[in-house]
Amino acid sequence: MTKEIQELIEEAIKLVLDAQKIVIFTGTGLSTDSGMSGTTGSSISTSKESSFPTFVGNPTTRRKSWQTWNMFRMIELAQPNPAHYAITELYTMGKLDCVITQNVDGLHQKAGVPDEKVIELHGSLRRVKCVNCDRRYPIIEVAKRLGDGEEGSICSECGGLLKAATVSFGEPPPTAEIEEAEQHARNCDLFMLLGSSLMVYPAAYMPIYAKEAGAKLIIINVGAASMDESADVLIDMDVGKVLLRIIEGVKNKLA
């Protein structure tokens, strides 16, 4: 790493050490090393081919969605990468307030961050939901039923259609999760934006809320993000490599 990058890492280490309530915001760039770049972030949410109206109104689309065995298996087999575990270290230190994520892969939870500490703005591919009563089922349970020959997937509670519990094109963002994320963003003292270019709203408002409330802002991302000019520390590099150095530096200072 260059001297300039090392100096930025040292600045980030100091900000993490000084912080008491850290909010981590993650996007697609965090899960790329876990092989999940095609099923994370806004790519799930903004595809018109898998839009909510099309899913509900087109039996062929529903059958294709229900039969995506490879995606179900990939979600179950995917493992966290070092960046996910680095974030879990912040939780272990008692500094992590919450993770706000655009990703739908559940890898933060697999890495050891409690489910109640993760706010999934675009939903999760670990679960399916009934479009009628909103009951949730583990996706592997439904995948097994389909694999055993069930041609359609309906709710055992009300008979409604089941779809992946992600925010599809044409669906409104989850109000409760957006409001919870905003509350945490406005009450943190350090906001760390990792692996997102902030192209999707209302998720992209979160670092704005944090800065408005006086929080420091660290951005680690390959390429530009819309909040770059507001960052206290801006590092244009692979998230995993940089985050590991930051967390290691923090642990050394606390030792």
Active site residues: 122
Q: Whose structure tokens read 């670092």?
A: 207
DSSP code per residue over 217-232? EEEE-SS--TTGGG-S
Of 72, 53, 183, nearest in space to 137 by CA: 72
Q: Please give the DSSP secondary-structure letter assigned to residue 36.
A: -
Mapping DSSP onto H, E and C, the string for 232-253 reads CEEECCCHHHHHHHHHHHHHHH
Of 30, 10, 20, 22, nearest in space to 191 by CA: 22
One-letter amino acid of 215: A
Rg of the chain taking only CA atoms, in angstroms: 19
- Measured between alpha carbons, how far is 147 from 75 in angstroms, rounded to an integer? 16
Q: Please give the DSSP secondary-structure letter assigned to residue 65.
A: H
Residues forming a β-bridge with 164: 128
Helices (H), the chain: 3-18, 28-31, 42-45, 52-57, 59-66, 69-77, 82-93, 107-110, 139-147, 175-186, 206-212, 239-254
